[in-house]
Amino acid sequence: MSNAQTFQFFNRGPSPAARLVFFVVLSLLLMFVDARYRYLESARSTLSMLVTPIQQLATMPGKLWHQAGEFFVTQGGLVEENHGLRQQHGRDAALLSQLQSLQQENQHLRNLLTLPQRSEFSAQSVEILYAERDIFKRKLLIGKGENASIKLGQVVMDDMGIVGQITRVYPWMSEVTLITEKDHAVPVQVVRNGLRTIVFGAGDTSQLSLRYMPVSSDIQNGDVLVTSGIDGVYPPGIPVAKVVKIERDAAYPFARISCLPLAGVDRNRQLLILSDLPPLPVQPAEELPPGTGKDAKTGGNG
């Protein structure tokens, strides 16, 4: 009896088939009423408002996954693009530096080409091949020698002033001793007052010195020194140096005067070699007083 009651408890109500038919008919009826009379618009709007948060919550994991994928893809693309831009910036910076160097070199060559037109001597351009690595030797090797009729003693300069002098000639190159070589001497004169003196190298490419100048000498800071031309080696009037420091001490007979070379002795790569100057007349022999010399010796022997 208990089994029959349990069976009847679980089998109460309409059968599943009846339920299916009922809900099908109800759905069709609601569809007809909604399509015909629009009675369910408000109900649909209400249900849509209630269901929308649930739909958004259900689609949120997919959106988050998609956004995360886009983030990592975008991040990777930005990193790669940034790396490419850095490389391009490096290449552009190198090209810009090279262009600026070429522009400076071009301007320097233009200045060199105008020098022979402003002077009474001819010149030929030359390029520096090597620089002496010994910091105590201020010498350069240039790309012309006996093949270009280079001779010992010829003057080398740039567009700003005297650089040095040819001191050794090889078949295809020559050696230039800079004016900043220690104890290298160049006869100069002060443009302001014409005072003649000699400037000496100090073994430093940024320094020259005026020696044996009395404390009372008319030398001032900023005075420009040019070649005097009295030695027959350096043409007159070529800039050499500028006075930058003067130390006068009454306890010493001579002033300590430091000068700055005007030429780019350690900067430029193109230089000019000046032609030889006309030889100076032979210095006349000193006349001997009467009764001396060969005649006196002959007379004495007689």
Any idea where the domains of the chain sit in the sequence? 124-274
CATH for 124-274, among 1.10.1520.10, 2.40.10.340, 3.20.20.10, 3.40.50.300? 2.40.10.340
CA 256-261-265 angle, 5° bins: 140
Would you state the pLDDT for residue 280? 61
Would you state the pLDDT for residue 68? 76
Q: What are phi and psi of 258, to 5 degrees?
A: -105, 140
Of the ranges 70-84, 109-123, 254-268, which is most confident? 254-268
Amino acid at 235: P
Q: Which two tokens stand for residue 222?
A: 């900023």
For the chain, what's the residue count?
Answer: 302
The string of pLDDT tens digits covering residues 29-65 is 877 777 777 666 777 677 777 777 887 787 788 778 8
CB 255 within 8 A of CB 213: yes
The helix or strand, by DSSP H or E, that contains position 139, with its residue range, turns out to be strand 139-142
Task: Find where tokens 């893809």 sit.
Answer: 73
Would you state the pLDDT for residue 89? 75
Residue 171 has pLDDT above 80, yes or no: yes
Residue 286 has pLDDT above 60, yes or no: yes
The string of pLDDT tens digits covering residues 211-229 is 889 988 899 999 999 998 8
Would you state the pLDDT for residue 225? 93
Which pTM was predicted? 0.56
Would you state the pLDDT for residue 118? 46
The CA distance from 188 to 208, in Å, is 12
The string of pLDDT tens digits covering residues 94-153 is 666 666 656 666 665 666 566 554 455 677 888 888 887 766 677 889 999 999 889 998
Query: Over the chain, what is the mean pLDDT?
Result: 78
301 SS3 class: helix
